[in-house]
Structures are given as C-alpha cells and as structure tokens.
Structure 1
C-alpha cells in the first residue's frame, strides 16, 4: 500500500467520513508530566476483547473509511489488541497509522511481533520532547526511529516546540538515521495541550471572540474508544467524559459503533463546524449572542453551541447549505 506523508494524512482526515481514530487504551508506561489524556501505567486498558473484535470488524467493513489511526495512551502496551486491529484493518485495505512514544524500543532490535506488525502500517507517528526523554531516556527514540525506518514505513515525528526540543530531536534523528534523515522522516512541531496532566503546564494563550474562530480541524474524523465510546472529535477531555453529552455515544457492539460513527459524520452541525467553522455560525439567530463572547479555545465555543441543540436532529437544511460551501 502507498506510504503516506503527514500532508497526505491531514488531507484524508479533512475528507469528512474517510477516517476514524481508534483509541486503543488509556494506559501508558511513560508517565510524561504533560500528558494531555492523563495516561498512566495503571490506567484502564482493554478488558472486553469480544467488543474490541466486534468494533474493529465493523470499522474494517465500512467502505467509506480509507484510513484508521490507532492511538491511546500507548497502543503498543496492548499487544493482543494492537495486533488484532492492525491485521484486520490492513487486510480490509485500510491505511493504518499508529501513534506511539517508542517506549517499546528498549534495545536496537524490536520484539518480533512488532517487526511483523510495522510493515502492515502506512505511517508511524513517533512523539518525543523533553518530557518523553525524562520519562524513558533518549535512546528509545533513536532505537524506535531506526526500527521503523528499517521497515520502510514513513516516520512522522511530533515534537512540542518549546525550549531546545526541536534542536535535540534533530540531533537524535541524525544519530538514528544519519544526516539524510529528512528523506526518511518528517519533523512536525506541535504545541502542548492544557488537558489531563498538561493542564498544570500549559494554558490557552489568549481569549478570542466567538465570531473570529475559523473551521475546526479535528471534527471531521470521529474517535472510537476500545470500550465502545464514540466521540465527535479527538478532544481528550471529551473522550474522557467532559463536555456536552451530545459529543459522545456509548455503543455496546460493532454495529452500534458503526451507526454512531456515521451519525457524527452525517450530522449537519458538525459538518458546518468543520467546514465554515463555529465563528460563521454566530451569525445565526440561535448563536448570535456568542459572536462577541470571548472563549479560550474553539472547543469552548463548540461546547456552548452544542449545549443549545435540542431534539437530537442531525439534519438541518441551513447548516447543510453552510457546510456545503467549502466541502
């Protein structure tokens, strides 16, 4: 299957309904102080493998899905679950993208099950920064980069742009892959999120008037958690239960997961949030009072609007027309 670049992945995610994110576990052994989902070594993990198998099979059977991302927590702590998901999704022709800290690369050689799994993916996002290095040391990132590159799978390195993080990451990539590393890996600067443990380290930089928010870039792909929870976006707080209940569905089997995914993808309100953005919706009578109100993030404005929705009606002719302006 054709390898994917970061730009390719973003384009698929922005093609509404073409992808989902499988949130495979809450657990992570690294314990970074800035974790946006508060993942810990003792956090919940998969217990109902029959449910996981059912929801993975459902995602594999959905013809409109061309890509499935797999994250957590740290997905590599779930050997059984990750193996099941990657194999079945790749066999169904889905592009599989894994998000990892590389904690599994304690030595230059990866465990055999990982060596077998990586070639079934189309890209691996490898995260690092000072917090990751403090939690697991710099050598695991170097080992992970070498292992992934050795399979020919593209690497997208995500690194928080603060202090000397980017310079240190470039040095580690040079150590791992040589001076020509940009031909084998992309380095994407990111920013810390004030969610989970990250709320103690980061804050939204400024408040913005509702009318000034543009399109949301994370609402076009839903998130499916290992326990059947489906969310309209990848906001970590929403996944963990915060925010309006209308942003979540709790499914008990694969078919219910599929219905929830399609409901979110087809919802005209969320389509409009992702296309013209919530700022444009403040021109509507229902939300006009939010135009001048200031919010710390686009999520705050979206939550305020979501709470005003009544009746669970997913279809609205005006919102559909607005969404269609840019789709």
Structure 2
C-alpha cells in the first residue's frame, strides 16, 4: 500500500477583489490569468487518481470570489478522502452572521483548514471588523483558522493584531516577510527585511507542486520561484508525470541532498561575477532560491559541475 505523501496546490485564478501592493502573484480585480474550469476538473480528477496525493490546496487570487465553484471543488476532494485547504483574504466577513454562513458552507463541503491572509497591505481593502467576524464565527465551527501576516520594514501589522485582540485567542498567527515577487517587486528596496545568509537559510523549507494560473507547474509554493525557469511542465500535461519530475529533476535532487551551499559554491567558482555569486543577504531561503535559479547565465555555467556531480553519485550508488 502506498503511503500518501504529495501535497499539491492549485492556483486556479488570479482575480481578486483587492489590489495589494505586496501581492506576490500580482492578483487584482482586473487580472485575467486563470485555468479554465474544465482543465481544473481534469487536474483534480487526475490528482484524486493518485493514491500518493494526501492534500490539495486551493488558492488564487481570491478563491471565494467564486464561492460556489470553490465549495464544489472542496466537496469533490474531501469526498475522495483527501485533505483540502483554502486561502482567502476574508472579504466575505461583512457581518458575523455572513461570516458564519460562508463558514457553514465550507464546513459542510468538508473543509477543515482555512488560511486568512491579513496584514497592513490587505487592510486597505479588507477591514479589521471583517476578519474579527470570521474569527468569532469560527468558534462554532470545526474549521481550523490560520492567520497569515505578511510584514515589511515599515508594516509589521502590530496595530492590526492589537485591534483583533481576544478574537485571536487560540488562533495560529504566522508572520512572514514580504518577498520581492509579483507586485512586491515595485516596493522600495528598504521594505524588504533582508538578513545575512546563515546556515539555516541554506536549505529548502520543502516542496509543494503548484498548478499555477500562468499555465505552468512549479515544484514549490513559494512565489519567488514563479520568477524562475524552474517549471515541471505545462498544466495540461499528465499529472503523475508532472509530479514525478520532482523526483527526477537533477537540480532539485542536488538541492534536496546538498542544499543551496552546493549551488553557491559552484556558481562562485564558475561565474564569480554573477548576481547569485555575490549575494550575501536575503529575505528568506525562498528568495535565495529565486536569485540562484533565475540567474540563467550562472545556471548554464555550472552545468558541467552538475553533470560531474550526477556521474560521481551514480558511480557510488
């Protein structure tokens, strides 16, 4: 019996009611990138045919703009015995009663975890009251709520969290730094909370295959990778083949075994003047990954070292 081990995300639509300056996937009311419903249905069907898939995450854009469609997808996934998560900005929490109505639909469809993105950037479009309504309504529901807070140098969301007060009791709040991806590339450079690269930043936090609304499949859920050529293929290819490429990709294999240190050392040797060779500070391991793999000249320069590494490891296994 195969043990379920894959976590897969589907970013099926870029449309969002908000236009946040830090949006790492450039979502907005007039964004048009999307995966059509028929294609998403096929992707979900193929994922559910894979016993290795343990969880499917739905994100955007704002998935609950199309609430009926999202609830339908959640129901199909949970009916097949798989876990499902969803990300939202909470625009629908107009009143506590309205929030409870949406949470009831999500709960009945089988959803057990809902991530609410809220911070100083979102608060220009979504009021604190709407998020509070959701948190309070969730106390009567079995859905686990996680609040994701994106922070920059001048926007740490401390005031918003204080306003939410006791409604956050028992709620997991995760803070993470803004990364220079998507719309956030236009922020002042001083907004990014970069730190010197430490040993702990030299390892990938993990992979989650993402079917993205730009038509490509990526080996990671970090928006930083969407700016690189590190794709597994097109979204309309066979799902099992796409996910299997995570295991067979040479660069990802080296990354899993050696971490980013191997790539930095190789690039500093083969392309010492490249951006990846000279980087000393990053926001996170995900930004470091992006800097390395979007540097096409550097990646091409280390190809002989990659081939040598693979040949050496084949000889010893």
TM-score clears 0.5:
yes
**2:185 matches 1:195:** no
Q: Find the aligned partners of 1:182 and 1:113 in 2 and give their Cα distance.
A: 21
Q: Match of 1:233, SS?
A: coil
CA deviation map 1:133-152 (0-9, x unaligned): 11122211112222333312
Q: Find the aligned partners of 1:320 and 1:157 in 2 and give their Cα distance.
A: 45
2:253: which partner in 1? 271
Q: Find the aligned partners of 1:209 and 1:187 in 2 and give their Cα distance.
A: 25
In structure 2, relative to structure 1, the CA distance for the partners of 1:272 and 1:85 (3 Å cut) is: farther
In structure 2, relative to structure 1, the CA distance for the partners of 1:17 and 1:291 (3 Å cut) is: farther
Q: CA RMSD in A?
A: 3.7
**2:172 matches 1:186:** yes
1:243: which partner in 2? 228
Moved over 6 A (4+): 207-212, 319-322
Q: Find the aligned partners of 1:193 and 1:140 in 2 and give their Cα distance.
A: 26
In structure 2, relative to structure 1, the CA distance for the partners of 1:48 and 1:320 (3 Å cut) is: farther
Q: Find the aligned partners of 1:35 and 1:283 in 2 and give their Cα distance.
A: 32
1:68: which partner in 2? 56
1:12: which partner in 2? none
Kindly indicate whether the alpha-carbon contact (under 8 Å) linking 1:160 and 1:189 is maintained by their aligned counterparts in 2: yes
Paired residues, number: 295
Q: Find the aligned partners of 1:164 and 1:251 in 2 and give their Cα distance.
A: 36
Kindly indicate whether the alpha-carbon contact (under 8 Å) linking 1:22 and 1:225 is maintained by their aligned counterparts in 2: yes
Name the structure, 1 or 2, with higher relative contact order (CA <8 Å, separation 6+). 1
2:221: which partner in 1? 234
Q: Find the aligned partners of 2:219 and 2:65 in 1 and give their Cα distance.
A: 25
**2:28 matches 1:40:** yes
Q: Match of 1:217, SS?
A: coil
Q: Match of 1:109, SS?
A: helix
In structure 2, relative to structure 1, the CA distance for the partners of 1:226 and 1:163 (3 Å cut) is: closer
Q: Match of 1:102, SS?
A: coil
CA deviation map 1:62-111 (0-9, x unaligned): 21121222211111112243123211211222221111111121222237
Where structure 2 has 5 or more consecutive residues not aligned to the other structure, the ranges are none
1:217: which partner in 2? 205
1:3-14 equivalences in 2 (<5 Å): none
CA deviation map 1:127-174 (0-9, x unaligned): 111221111222111122223333121111111345451342143142
Deviation at 1:271, TM superposition (A): 3.5
**2:92 matches 1:104:** yes
Where structure 1 has 5 or more consecutive residues not aligned to the other structure, the ranges are 1-14
Q: Find the aligned partners of 1:75 and 1:267 in 2 and give their Cα distance.
A: 31
